Structure 1
Amino acid sequence: MRAMTAASPNSPTEIADILAFYASAGVDEALEDAPVNRFAEAAPRPAERAPAPVAPPRQEPPREDRAPERPAASPGLDASKVPDAPARTVSAAIPDEAQAALARQLAASASTLEELRQHMAAFDGCNLKATAKNLVFADGNPEATVMLVGEAPGRDEDIEGLPFVGRSGRLLDRMLAAIGLDRTSVYIANVIPWRPPGNRTPTPHETEICRPFIERQIELVNPKVLVNLGGPSAKTLLNTSEGILRLRGNWRVHTTASGIAIPAMPTLHPAYLLRTPAHKKLAWRDFLEVKAKLRALSQP
């Protein structure tokens, strides 16, 4: 990232503040508008030939992240008796165990998918809901034999309220069509139903808050085959720490709360395949395994 050109600071404190701002913004190298020959340091730069007059020092404005200064004592007043300014408290919106317990309770009480969707829409225990536009619950056929689960919605999904509708969704549609499936014959959902701000990775707290909902969703759909799209989905629903490149292509088992064992195929996320097209052949093999499994399960 390129650093912005700014007026020369007037104090070491301002210099430290500017450097801290650049570091937090991701600035990792200093560049200027015009190229500079670093091997000719003796030659004066164009900006140095006609230096601008030095402005008088200005009063430093207060900052929110700076500790409040202790007020000066009045003449004749003992400075030790001047009370300290009250400390500023910062509250972080991090889900706690009480909210996780509530999510488990709501998920377990849902007897239908529609009831589960209503519980999730009314649930305020996950801080992702505050920044998302829509609840992205599911898409497809709730009576399908195949259920696909990704990680979290992106921008397009957040706008439309449906999973996998952007570029990765269009690629997923083509992958399904290659084995004779479409959105009328599969059911699609995400581990996280609300879009993380800026498409950042969901935190472990957020994942654990949402885990009861997706597990109950799988249990209510009761598919014959579960497809985990990407590492986060596989790690969450298969209780493993292995990477997706090691997991993919190997059948695993997702066990529901009621004890039903569902064959699960971890595979690469369509968004990853868009960034790494050479690995599409690996996903193709995984989807062929899904097709063969469905054929075997349909035989008497």
Structure 2
Amino acid sequence: MDTLQFGQIRLTWLSGGVTNLDGGAMFGVVPKPLWERKYECNEKNQIELRTDPILIQWDGKNILIESGIGKGKLTDKQKRNFGVVEESHLEEDLLALGLKPEDIDIVLMTHLHFDHACGLTKLVNGKYVSVFPKARIIASSIEWNEMKNPNIRSINTYWKENWQAIETQVETFENDWELGPIKLIHTGGHSDGHSILLLEDGQETIIHMADLMPTHAHKPALWVMAYDDYPMNSIKAKQDWIPYGLSKNAWFIFYHDAIYRAVKWDEQGTITDSIIRHK
């Protein structure tokens, strides 16, 4: 498992599953000859995307960023449509670290689309139950409200199977949520309730842009997904937060990137440091 030690914080990437989605949808209006130089696609024009939760261990707490795509929840049709070639091994990875799902104290959800939230619940004896029964599950109030009341567009990604069993565990926030050096900040953009994650410990900074920057190739402010509900808000948030991260020499970390776990860029956009995903 790939790790990043960050002051008193340790980050570990867990195996949450693998999808392959249409590259054109993932890069929106960006022409393929441009984005294909940055991120490979297969013969079906699909790009590989991880859905790997990140375990934060700090101050005796076990905190997850996202939950993966779960195991045994997707139909064969869904697996085919989403290009799923691997389901979650999150519980096995936790066991290898000496942990159980019951040891997770907090789950931080940048948003609640199926590829981030399927891992929150699982089927046991024909009934959905919480995977992390003792955890506080944190999401923006806007995101949680849309999860429970999706519109005609978002109903395809906000599923009742992912929220009904964990409803009593959910805690919502308006603008931001903070615990020590860990901060969730509402941005909107990809979804109306989308948030990013900021970790600041002393002089060090980590930014998780979530689906505003799902891969390192999405660094340009205008390179936003066709999946974004509010693309101009995505662009504005990237214009605000990417320069902030660059000014702090921050690590940018990823949930979806199949190549990098974390990247540092200089002001010219050159990668100066990176953690390449261990295969």
- Aligning the two structures, in what range does the TM-score lie when normalised by the shorter sequence? under 0.3
Larger helix percent? 1
When normalised by structure 1's length, the TM-score is: 0.22
Larger strand percent? 2
User: Greater Rg, structure 1 or structure 2?
Assistant: 1
* Larger RCO of the pair (alpha carbons < 8 Å, separation 6+): 2
When normalised by structure 2's length, the TM-score is: 0.23
